[in-house]
Amino acid sequence: MKTAIAVRDLTKSYGTGATAVRALDKVNLDVYSGEVLLMMGPSGSGKTTLLSIMGCILRATRGSVRIGEREIVGLPERELPRIRLAHIGFVFQGFNLFPALSAGENVEVALDLKGIRGHEARRRARATLESVGLGDKYDAAPADLSGGQKQRVAVARALVGEPNIILADEPTAALDSHNGRAVMEMLCRLARTENRAVVIVTHDNRIFDYADRIVHIEDGKISEQTVAAERIQLEEATRAHSLLEQALVEGKSVLTPHV
């Protein structure tokens, strides 16, 4: 699999001397194109800090973060917006829609930053809204949209610039189960059919089954990683073991074929 983001010995500290607080402590992590990665952990564990550094919003204290072939740690501040525009789409928990703009205009904002305006921006914004099931909401004001629709507008805004990395901070936290599933199915489809890397910070245990991998963060360190394939294999082995025990209890013979 192609590595979209490579994090090595990443440290983020706030303050200096005896009062310094280490939010991230020598974190190592690879994020792959085509996967949905969940980052979990208690409040203050460092997961949102890690997401923000990978998204070129916060600057690291030490270590390395490579997006594609580009090292971003140590880059001048003026270079970071270019990296974001070229590679990254953000989906925020609070939607962050401009209330005075229509749904379509909120999506067009991301294109305006790329210098794409006028008819082409409207065409692409409308097409992207259609792709998230909101083609009929182009002219709707955010106040007239449901929470699930607002989040899908936010997803459309993140996607319209065609980034190869999508970073989402608690995208389902404010949604009911139906809308949460719809947003997750959309993000999974983007990862698996368009080979984009999707990284989601979440506390929402309703979306665990959508993940290809789950990373647990505590005290600024990765404490555990769970791969979906390993979880599925463990479940299948446990199920097979239970069936075997049941067969033995019932006195049935279990034949093991020769290879």
Which pLDDT score, from 0 to 100, does residue 17 have?
77
Structural domain for 192, as ranges: 3-229
Record the pTM.
0.82
Q: Is residue 245 part of a domain?
A: no
Asked if residue 249 is part of any domain, the answer here is no
Q: What pLDDT does residue 227 have?
A: 80
pLDDT at 233: 57
Q: Is residue 250 part of a domain?
A: no
pLDDT score for 252: 57
Q: pLDDT value at position 182?
A: 86
Which stretches of the chain drop beneath a pLDDT of 70?
A: 228-239, 241, 251-259
At 1 the pLDDT is 78
Q: Could you report the per-residue pLDDT of 7-61, keeping only the tens digit for each?
A: 999 999 998 877 888 999 999 999 999 999 999 999 889 999 999 999 999 999 9
Which residues fall within 8 angstroms of residue 58, CB to CB, at 6 or more apart? Answer: 12, 49, 52
Which pLDDT value is given to residue 259?
45
Is residue 246 a part of any domain in this protein?
no
User: Does residue 44 belong to any structural domain of this protein?
Assistant: yes
Beta strand extents in 55-174 (DSSP E only): 62-67, 70-71, 88-91, 165-169
Residue 165 domain-assigned (yes or no): yes
Whether 243 maps to a domain, the answer reads no
Q: Rounded distance, CA 136 to CA 143, Å?
A: 15
Residue 237 forms part of a structural domain: no
Number of compact structural domains in the chain: 1
What CATH number should be reported for the domain holding residue 225? 3.40.50.300
- pLDDT at residue 73 in the model: 94
Q: Any residues with CB less than 8 A from the CB of 254 and at least 6 apart, and which?
A: 244, 247, 248
